[in-house]
A and B are shown apart, each in its own frame.
Chain A
Amino acid sequence: MKTRKVLAMAWQNMGQRRLRTSLTTLSVVIGIAAIIGIASLGEGFRIDIRDRMESGFELSNLTIIPGSLFAGLSRERFTDTNIGDISRIQGVRAATGVMQLGNVTLYSGNETVQAFVATAVNYTSFVEIFPDRFVFEDQPPSQFTNDTIVIGHKVNYVSENDTTPFARVNDTVTLSLGIPTGQPYPSIRFQNETFTVGGILEKRGTPGITNFDYWVFIPVDRAREVYVTEESDLVFVKVYDPEQSERIAKDIEALFPPYRITILVPLTFIKQVDNILTIVQLFLTAIASISLLVAGIGIMNIMMVSVMERTREIGIMKAVGAKSRTVLSMFLAEAVLLGLIGGVVGVFTGYGLSFALAYGLSNFVQPQEQGATFQNPEGAQRIAITPALSPEWTILAVVFAVIICIAFGLYPARKAARLDPVQALRYE
């Protein structure tokens, strides 16, 4: 019997038992809708998280800190030779070492403010590495001199509503450096240094691990004079292609003895989170798949009943010359059609369901407070997940539905195919 005819007969059979067919199809629709609903919502959630992290983290920036997170932070530091070696690695656009001077106090007239850290930088390199964050409220200074200090937003405006800044551009401020005792600065010459304000940074929050809002910046040459050192505490690296950052990190690690340094690679972190979310998504989808298995058992049950009801019909078919495999294919065709229709309707229902769930979730979850420590892109505070449905998932879901229907329809179909024609004809 031709395949088209088999399908046509299967379709006709299903049409004869509309209610039963509809209910059986509904069970497949529910199963697939649950899978697609969860999967597309999960995919949307994953993409949303990844986008947030990608826009929050500076993917092309690596941070090299001395010591190992496992072995404790050593006080070993980076020489200019080290930094030169790093900047020569293929794919590295720029590398700059900075000195971190903790616990500093700024004086301007009678005003006093604390800064989390004073970072001694090479301004030119620093601007190249952080073009999005090393941004000034007004015009950037026409030139950076050995006298220029740049002040972080929250150092200059202590509270959110503070309209009076601590200092303005071209003001003279005195920086009182914390006095580290002992190593690594054995011979500090000065405690207070005077600088001219070159600019105030815009508020930017925390991408990755650094928050410039609480920092002040001084020229590295000046700090080296003060601390009588040629070494850096941290190295910031900018790479051309973020996708290469893991390879570059390995190359950098190879320049140092084992456990000497730790490299923070945003891409690795994002990948880890992405992997975790993928696993969660798959887990939830697997749970949703149980409903499709339940649907499969329902299909098996209904088809067993159908085979029993149609025993005489099967006998007639065989008497007029139908082979066992023709009978098998007729019943399997019904299972395939159930799977196809249920799968396709289920995909659309599930996609619709995921939008309803996303809408519910976005109303349920309160928007995050403005000014939180994490840097957020404009308007991204609100949890607004857009469910994502990939063509792969769509095809996979429909194929899965058909496979389940065939798997559970196979036993009843074989039962039908193996019926003894004489017994079947006698069946009342």
Chain B
Amino acid sequence: MQTIVRVNDVKKAYRMGEVSVPALCGVSFHVEDAEFITIFGPSGSGKSTLLHLIGALDRPDKGEIFIEDSNLLKLSDDKLAELRLTKIGFVFQFFNLLPRLSALANVKLPLSIAGVSEKEAQSKAEEMLRLVGLETRLDHRPFELSGGEQQRVAIARALINSPKIVLADEPTGNLDTKTGLEIVQLMKTLNQEKGQTFIVITHDPNIAETAGRIVYLKDGLVEGIKQAPRGGSR
């Protein structure tokens, strides 16, 4: 199995005025291609920081992160943006959809940024929304959709550019349990059908255990990595 994400002794601290607050204190692990992995830990354990670093939204203070063969530390801001555009899809806890755009336009956004023609973007976005079960909600704006529907739109947006990796930051954190499980199930189905790698952050053990592997994070360190008892696809 090919390694798609490699995290080597990554450290990251945030400055709060005069004080430096460590978020990650030397994290190492790897993710394999087409894996469905969860990163589990309590609030403040550094999960989101780790996801931002893997997602090329931020740079570590020390250590290395590889996405396939690219060392993120060595890439310029523009190259990182390109990487986010072509290889990474994000799903956030608060959905992070653009409120004034329709579901369809939100899903089209990465394609527009990539310079894909309007016609092609339209048909791809429609297909993706159909895939997440929102074919009747194309023209609805985020505020006209339920939380679960908004997260489906976000997933469709994350997948539209056919990224290698989908990063989900507490994707169920803002949803009720039933909807949350539906969303996780959707992601798992997509993982199995499309073979994309899913890295899901959660503090909900029920969600964590849906994955094939769980990375336990605590106080900025990997406490352990284990196969889930009722593991996912891998």
Identify the stretch in A72-80, A175-183, A320-328 within 8 Å (CB) of chain B at 4 or more residues.
A320-328
A291–B57 Cα distance when bound, in Å, is 42
Which of A84-92, A309-317, A334-342 faces chain B?
A309-317
In the complex, B157 has a CB within 8 A of chain A:
yes
Specify the chain B residue showing the minimal Cβ separation from A426: B48
* With A1-B113, A421-B57, A422-B52: A321-B100 Cβ-Cβ less than 8 Å: no
B109 contacts which chain A residues (CB < 8 A)?
317, 320
From the candidates B58, B82, B97, name the one contacting A321 in the complex (CB within 8 A). Answer: B82
> A317 and B113: CB pair below 8 A?
yes
- Say if the beta carbon of B114 comes within 8 Å of chain A: yes
C-alpha gap A426/B13 in the complex (Å)? 17
B85 contacts A321, C-beta separation under 8 Å: yes
Query: Does chain A have a CB within 8 A of B77?
Result: yes
A317 CB to nearest B CB, Å: 7
Chain B residue at minimal CB-CB distance from A318: B81
A287 contacts B by Cβ under 8 Å:
no
Q: A4-19, CB under 8 A of B: which get 1 and which 0?
A: 0100010011001000
Taking a contact as CB atoms closer than 8 A, the residue among B57, B77, B85, B118 that contacts A422 in the complex is B57
CA A344 – CA B123 in complex, angstroms? 37
Q: Is A319 an interface residue (CB 8 A)?
A: yes
Whether B110 is near chain A, meaning CB under 8 Å from some CB there, is yes
Complex interface bits, A352-396 against B, C-beta within 8 A gives 1, otherwise 0: 000000000000000000000000000000000000000000000
Is A1's CB under 8 angstroms from B115's CB? yes
Is there a chain A Cβ closer than 8 Å to B185's Cβ? no
A321 with B86: CB separation less than 8 A: yes
Q: How far is the CB of B55 from chain A (nearest CB, A)?
A: 7
Knowing A320-B90, A320-B110 are in contact, say whether A422-B78 is a contact too (CB < 8 A). no
**B81 touching A324 by the CB < 8 A rule?**
yes
Encoded as 1 (CB less than 8 Å from any A CB) or 0, chain B from 32 to 55 comes to 000000000000000000001001
In the complex, what distance in Å separates the CA atom of A5 from the CA atom of B68?
31
Residues of A within 8 A of B82 (CB): 321, 323
Contact A2 B115 (CB under 8 A): yes
CB of B92 within 8 Å of the partner chain: yes
B85 neighbours in A (Cβ, 8 Å): 320-322
Q: Give the residue name and chain of the B residue nearest to A322 (CB).
A: B113
Q: What distance in Å separates the Cβ of A342 from its nearest Cβ neighbour in chain B?
A: 23
Question: Smallest CB–CB gap between A270 and chain B, Å?
Answer: 58
Say whether B96 faces chain A, with CB atoms less than 8 Å apart: yes
A5, A312, A326: the one contacting B96 at CB < 8 Å is A312
Q: What's the dominant secondary structure at chain A's contact region?
A: helix
Residue of B nearest to A15 (CB): B100
State whether the Cβ of B98 lies closer than 8 Å to any Cβ in chain A.
yes
Q: Give Cα distance in the complex from A47 to B139, angstroms.
A: 58
Determine the residue in chain B with the shortest Cβ distance to A16.
B100
Residue count of chain B within 8 Å CB distance of chain A: 26
B84 pairs with A321, CB closer than 8 A: yes
Interface size of A as a range: 20 to 34
C-alpha spacing A370/B5, complex, angstroms: 95
Shortest C-beta distance, A187 to chain B (Å), equals: 100
A319 surroundings in chain B (CB, below 8 A): 55, 57, 84, 90, 96
Residue of B nearest to A420 (CB): B58
Contact of A1 among B57, B77, B112 (CB under 8 A): B112
Complex CA–CA separation, A318 to B55 (angstroms): 11
Q: Name the interface residues of B73-97: CB closer than 8 Å to any CB of A.
A: 77-78, 81-82, 84-86, 90, 92, 96-97
Query: Contact at A324–B58, with CB atoms within 8 Å?
Result: no
* Interfacial chain B residues near A425, Cβ < 8 Å: 57, 92, 96
> What are the residues of chain B within 8 A of A315 when measuring CB–CB?
96
Q: Give Cα A324–Cα B16 distance, bound, in whole angstroms.
A: 26
> Which residues of B lie under 8 Å from residue A326 when comparing CB positions?
113
Q: Could you say which of B77, B78, B100, B157 contacts A320, with CB atoms under 8 Å apart?
A: B157
A424 — nearest CB in chain B belongs to which residue? B57
Closest to A4 in B: B118
Question: Is B151 an interface residue, CB under 8 A from the partner?
Answer: no
As a 0/1 sequence over residues 215 to 230 of chain B, the CB contacts with chain A under 8 angstroms (1 = contact) are: 0000000000000000
A16, B100: Cα distance in complex, Å = 8
Q: Which residues of the other chain, A, contact B161 by a CB distance below 8 angstroms?
A: 321
- Bound form: Cα–Cα A320–B92 in Å: 11
Q: Which residue of B lies closest to A319 (CB)?
A: B90
Please determine whether A323 and B78 come into contact, CB atoms closer than 8 angstroms.
Answer: yes
Q: Which residues of B contact A317 (CB under 8 A)?
A: 109, 113
Q: Which residues of A contact B78 (CB under 8 A)?
A: 323-325
Interface residues of B in 111-132 (CB under 8 A from A): 112-115, 118
Write the nearest CB–CB distance from A142 to chain B, whole angstroms: 87
Given contacts A5-B118, A313-B98, 10 further A-B contacts (CB under 8 A): A316-B97, A317-B109, A318-B57, A320-B85, A320-B90, A321-B81, A323-B78, A323-B82, A326-B113, A422-B58
Contact sample, A vs B, 16 pairs, CB 8 Å cutoff: A1-B113, A1-B114, A313-B98, A315-B96, A317-B109, A319-B55, A319-B84, A320-B84, A321-B82, A324-B77, A324-B81, A325-B78, A420-B58, A421-B57, A421-B58, A425-B92
Going nearest first, the 5 A-B pairs with the smallest beta carbon separation are A321-B85, A323-B81, A321-B84, A320-B110, A421-B57
